[in-house]
Amino acid sequence: MSNLLAIKREVMALPVEARAELAEYLLSTLDELAGEEIESLWVEEAERRYQAYLEGRIIGRPAAMVLQEARERL
């Protein structure tokens, strides 16, 4: 069992108020990332998605179609 899985199980045993406090704390630590770290994470994500596209695991769609669907949802 991974350490992360063990931590998740332990956290889920906490009362809801304690879990909420922990979640708030963890989210606040993400806000502390430096701009370069955030940019690096986005670059990694873009590269991961592009590789998935090249391998045929995801398909592309024209930007016009995506924007039209977004407008319809608003």
pLDDT tens-place string over residues 3-55: 999 999 999 999 999 999 999 999 888 777 777 788 888 999 999 999 999 99
- pLDDT band at residue 1 using 50, 70 and 90 as cut-offs: low
Query: Measured between alpha carbons, how far is 20 from 48 in angstroms, rounded to an integer?
Result: 31
**pLDDT value of residue 25:** 93
Residue 33 Cα distances to 14, 25, 36, 44, 72, angstroms: 27, 14, 8, 15, 34
**pLDDT value of residue 11:** 95
Contact partners, residue 33, CB within 8 Å, separation at least 6: 41
Distance of CA 26 to the CA centre of its chain: 14
**pLDDT value of residue 16:** 94
pTM for the model stands at: 0.46
Query: Measured between alpha carbons, how far is 69 from 71 in angstroms, rounded to an integer?
Result: 5
